[in-house]
Structure 1
Amino acid sequence: MKKGKWSLQVTITVFVCAVVALSLLVTNLLVTSTVTENSERNQEEKAGNVARIMAETPLIIDALDGKGDKAAVQDYANQVRMASGVQFVVIMDMKGTRLSHPDPAKVGKPFVGGDEEEVLRGKAYTSISEGTLGRSLRSFTPIFNAEGVEVGAAAVGISLEEVNDAAEKSRENILIGTVLGILAGMAGAVFLAKYIKKILFGLEPFAIAKLLQERSAVLQSVREGVIAVDQDANITLVNKAAEKLVHKAGLTIQNPVGKDINDYMPSSTLKRVLQTGKPELDEEQELKGITLLTNRVPVILDGKTVGAVATFRDKTEISQLAEQLTGVRLYADALRAQSHEFMNKLHVILGMVHMKHYEELAGYISGVVGHHQGEIGSISRKIKDPVLAGFLIGKVSKAREEGAELVYTTGYPVPEGEEHLTHELITIIGNLIDNSLAAVEHSPHKKVSVHFDYGDEILTVEVKDTGSGMSDDIQSRIFEKGFSTKGSDRGIGLHLVRESLSRLDGDMEIQSKEGRGTKVAVYIPYESKGGTS
């Protein structure tokens, strides 16, 4: 993907500024003309309104009709002129002689301008002409008496310079607004560019395209199936591994993107995740006879669930790997304990050799050998499966290492079982013993008893400890994956026990009281090797 000449931030800033500037300049051209015309029209209307007011004033009508004092007209006209802010207010009789003027010396003299003839013939209008006060916009209004006879006229003038100043001021305001708008647009463009860059994590378009290609390649190459849905539970993404697993289950919907998740995968609970907003981790999902191990997590944006993603894999593959790892860990644990105990004994022997206590050494070795052979012989007579017996012997060494007593008893010797049973038994018994040893860690009397009984092809294993026991609340949660009273990164043992029992169609009973220890009994269908016992 080739890198662009401009960065995303510069591109957005330049283009937004250009659009804002162009739109405001065009608007300025269109609005300026209209505002100038309106400004001139407003000045014209102002003059006309003052002229009409003067024409309707009784004092002026009476003075022109010969019924009032003509001298009072000058004072009244000047008051109106100053109050309205016009250049002049002139009242003239039918001969064009002024009764008022801003310059008292011009009162009684003829009106100047030559544009007053029409008003003396009863017509109201506006004109532009040169008078004694300079060039002005003039509004003429005829004055009629009570009988409807014209007795004079009113002329109100506004300096053209004032008219032009008003229009220019309007244009200046528009220009200032345009400049401020362009500056605001530029600031907004910079802010928008930075904001977009921020939400894109500082990535340029070419980098986003590259990430999209890499994301697609990764999703299609992983072995886990991946399905994503939007907030309406419609599919937005399905990778090849997911399509393969769904096809393996006999579901063959073409082009699943855009379809409802339950139409494509009926057993999915992604809709529930969308509703609750809570993840569902390591859940088993049945899909037309195929068991999947699924993780479902919501996609949350600004505190709102906007979608969900499910990743899943055929549980058969995971179970095979987990069984191998669990078995290896338990075997290694037992061997480590035996090795540690054996090294301790070798150190004792080495010390006695150095001190030349040969007679005591012979007795010590005889005692160790006798105890060891007796221990091995006792377990071997009770447990016919050599792998299981060796594992149990290793657990005895581990218990001694931790300062605890581990005792095995049998009601009836346990015959050698099928190979798959041995592995499951090691998982079940090993985790139960480990839990019991942990339970007695702080007890004054650290003892764990394991009792085997076999009959009617049912193997019974009871593990009892002298620990502190469990409350009802803890008992209700002990099978939850990840739950533990011993801290984080624990809580997997009893979950594995339950899984193994489920595969063997076995059962479990737990009896526990706080301060009185715990007893766990498991019942497992157990066929001896070759069908003999």
Structure 2
Amino acid sequence: MSKFGQLSFTTKLFLCLLLLLTILLALLQGYIWNSTETDLYNNLGQRAQLQARELAVIPSLIKYVQDKDTDKIAELVTDVFKQSDASYIVIGDNKAKRLFHTANSPLYVPMLGGDNQEVLKGNSIITIRKGSLGISLRGKAPIINANNQVVGIVSVGYMVDNISQLHKEKLVPFAIFCSILFVILFIFSFCFTKMIKKQMFNLEPRSIALLVKSQKSIMESIFEGIIAIDLNYNIININQSARKMLKITNNNKELVNHNLCEFIKSTDFIYNSNNKTEDSHDQICHFNDCLVIANRIRIIVDDKIQGWVITFRNFNEVNILSAQLTQIKQYVDNLRALRHEHLNWMATLSGLIYMERYREAQEFITIHSIDNQKSLDFITQHFKIPAVCGLLIGKLSKSHELGLQLNFDPACQLSALPKTITEIEFMSILGNLLDNAFNASLKNPLGNKNVLLYLSDATDEIVLEVSDQGCGIDEKIRDSIFRPGVTSQNPKEHGIGLHLVATYTQKANGYITFDNNQPYGTIFSVFIPKLDEIQRDIV
């Protein structure tokens, strides 16, 4: 590889710009040189010819030339020569022999240059010839008497050396200008290449190309959907997973510079102006008909926001895993609660039998069997969904373990869930509301430790109501209670439950409300319509 090839891109760019500017300045200077030289020769030639014509028509000069009075000619022409800028003036007779020369050259010798015959024919001319003093630009005119006869020649000349010196003097300002311009262009080229280098993050084009290719490969290999947009929400880049989840059939080239709203319906997560200045993580929202967990990261260049990168993954896939883990956790909690309760009962029975209090032992067994059986019978008779029954039995055992009382409204009933919500989602709503009620009840020593559940599908909507005598909701977080991370407990371990409740409820076209309970606590109410929007329109 040549030494030039080993230079950095910015150095190559700087040298190429410098070379180009040098060539342009050289061409400009050559053009100016030739054009000014041509103009100078034309002007001086015209001036020499004009002076020769003016001298040729002076009557006294005509008479002196006819008489060949060299003294009078010398006296007359010398006075004229002193007022002229010409290099010399020569007067000749009708045979082109010298009668006067301002340089005191010998008289009556032929005028050199070979350009006198045309003048003797009565024509004035401009020529460049070599004379006795050297090469000169000369203007010649015939001296014509009253009889219209050519009696002599007037030659006014400018030495080429003098013209060259005059030309150089005229070009000095232009040369200075070109030098200053070259310095300015040199500084401009240097600053321009520095700016280009900064814009390229000090990377070489080959490195940038590698980064672009790597970025494309990375984006296509990531399972999450990724969309990069500018400040006008025009798509900069999008990967295959995003196109698949959003059911977009266009390829990347067709999507670039298209507005994102053409492919994703309006959502506050993307289009809300309040969300432009901050990053957002793990937000549950809808992209068209797809429920996703999304992140939005700002693209910052030179401390200014230039766009955003949106990453998202299908919430159902995450939710299935989360739900499975939740169910396992609930099963473990339920078994642990039943085990503890069973151990307490066995300890009590063991003590009664040890004291030979058989009658009290029998009554203890009968009372607890009847209470448990009543609760189990109520749950299985009023709720026809096995998963919901299992959840409520587990929560009932957990409430006993915590020293709380979970009560069921006698009007409870649930036969089936609408198509707009799955069992897992409904169990998440029910389980989170009951867990929050348990935690709130434990925090308030003044409450009666009772949690009341009302769940019914007797009307055209499923109504779920959970009330407690707990600590209530802090006024500071009432307006943001359904946002992720908002909680009155440890935010690292809590703050997602009510957000999931609100998200699943909205997905099922329902709504959730809450109000203060009397004398303490909170009442959460969830309303989920049995029919979706299309079915309601048909009805």
Q: How does 1:234-253 map to 2 (within 5 A)?
A: 237-239=238-240, 241-242=241-242, 244-245=244-245, 253=249
Q: Which amino acid in 1 is paired with 2:201? A: F
- What's the RMSD between the two structures over aligned residues? 6.2
Residue number in structure 2 paired with 1:495: 499
Cα distance in 2 for residues equivalent to 1:256 and 1:110 = 93
> Do 1:437 and 1:448's aligned partners in 2 also have CA atoms closer than 8 Å?
no
C-alpha spacing 1:409/1:35, structure 2 compared with 1 (3 Å) = closer
Mark the runs of 5 or more structure 2 residues left unpaired by the alignment.
65-71, 336-367, 377-391, 416-422, 458-462, 529-539
1:225 lines up with 2:225 in the alignment: yes
Q: 1:77 aligns with which of 73, 76, 81?
A: 81
> Do 1:138 and 1:158's aligned partners in 2 also have CA atoms closer than 8 Å?
yes
Q: 2:433 aligns with which of 428, 432, 436?
A: 428
Instruction: Please give the per-residue CA displacement for 1:270-317, whole angstroms capped at 9, x wherever unaligned.
Output: 999589694885421244xx5444456676767999876553332211
TM-score (norm 1): 0.58
3-state secondary structure, aligned to 1:80: coil
Q: Displacement, 1:475?
A: 4.8
Instruction: Please give the per-residue CA displacement for 1:170-199, whole angstroms capped at 9, x wherever unaligned.
Output: 999999999999998887776666555544
Cα distance in 2 for residues equivalent to 1:304 and 1:282 = 27
> Do 2:55 and 2:154's aligned partners in 1 also have CA atoms closer than 8 Å?
no
Cα distance in 1 for residues equivalent to 2:47 and 2:448 = 114
C-alpha spacing 1:460/1:11, structure 2 compared with 1 (3 Å) = closer
Q: Displacement, 1:452?
A: 0.7
Instruction: Please give the per-residue CA displacement for 1:421-446, whole angstroms capped at 9, x wherever unaligned.
Output: 665333123346668999x9xxxx98
Cα distance in 2 for residues equivalent to 1:114 and 1:503 = 108
Residue number in structure 1 paired with 2:161: 161
Mark the runs of 5 or more structure 1 residues left unpaired by the alignment.
336-375, 397-406, 526-533
C-alpha spacing 1:462/1:42, structure 2 compared with 1 (3 Å) = same
> Do 2:482 and 2:499's aligned partners in 1 also have CA atoms closer than 8 Å?
yes
Q: Which amino acid in 2 is paired with 1:54? A: Q
Q: Which amino acid in 2 is paired with 1:284? A: H
Residue number in structure 2 paired with 1:122: 123
> Do 1:144 and 1:151's aligned partners in 2 also have CA atoms closer than 8 Å?
yes
Instruction: Please give the per-residue CA displacement for 1:7-37, whole angstroms capped at 9, x wherever unaligned.
Output: 7753663577368648956985x77876665
Q: Which amino acid in 2 is paired with 1:17? A: L
Cα distance in 2 for residues equivalent to 1:466 and 1:275 = 34
TM-score (norm 2): 0.57
Residue number in structure 1 paired with 2:467: 462
Instruction: Please give the per-residue CA displacement for 1:463-510, whole angstroms capped at 9, x wherever unaligned.
Output: 466678538xx6554434456799998864532331354578765333
C-alpha spacing 1:269/1:494, structure 2 compared with 1 (3 Å) = same
Cα distance in 1 for residues equivalent to 2:293 and 2:36 = 78
Instruction: Please give the per-residue CA displacement for 1:330-356, whole angstroms capped at 9, x wherever unaligned.
Output: 999999xxxxxxxxxxxxxxxxxxxxx
Q: How does 1:229-308 map to 2 (within 5 A)?
A: 233=234, 237-239=238-240, 241-242=241-242, 244-245=244-245, 253=249, 255=251, 257-259=253-255, 266-268=263-265, 278=276, 282-287=284-289, 290-295=290-295
3-state secondary structure, aligned to 2:223: coil
C-alpha spacing 1:238/1:167, structure 2 compared with 1 (3 Å) = same
Residue number in structure 1 paired with 2:43: 46
C-alpha spacing 1:391/1:203, structure 2 compared with 1 (3 Å) = farther
1:521 lines up with 2:519 in the alignment: no
C-alpha spacing 1:522/1:232, structure 2 compared with 1 (3 Å) = closer
Q: How does 1:67-216 map to 2 (within 5 A)?
A: 71=75, 73-81=77-85, 86-89=86-89, 101=102, 113=112, 115=114, 117=116, 118-120=118-120, 121-131=122-132, 133-142=133-142, 154-165=154-165, 195-204=195-204, 207-216=207-216
Structure 1 window deviating more from structure 2 (313-322 vs 91-100): it is 91-100
Count how many residue pairs are aligned between Structure 1 and Structure 2: 448
Residue number in structure 1 paired with 2:345: none
C-alpha spacing 1:58/1:187, structure 2 compared with 1 (3 Å) = closer
Residue number in structure 2 paired with 1:349: none
Q: Displacement, 1:318?
A: 1.7
Q: How does 1:324-339 map to 2 (within 5 A)?
A: none
> Do 1:48 and 1:156's aligned partners in 2 also have CA atoms closer than 8 Å?
no
Cα distance in 2 for residues equivalent to 1:486 and 1:318 = 24
Instruction: Please give the per-residue CA displacement for 1:225-259, whole angstroms capped at 9, x wherever unaligned.
Output: 335578795685432x345546xx6x7x4756415
> Do 2:227 and 2:309's aligned partners in 1 also have CA atoms closer than 8 Å?
yes
C-alpha spacing 1:270/1:169, structure 2 compared with 1 (3 Å) = farther
Cα distance in 1 for residues equivalent to 2:139 and 2:271 = 76
Cα distance in 2 for residues equivalent to 1:122 and 1:309 = 87
C-alpha spacing 1:58/1:319, structure 2 compared with 1 (3 Å) = same
Cα distance in 1 for residues equivalent to 2:480 and 2:268 = 26
3-state secondary structure, aligned to 2:475: coil
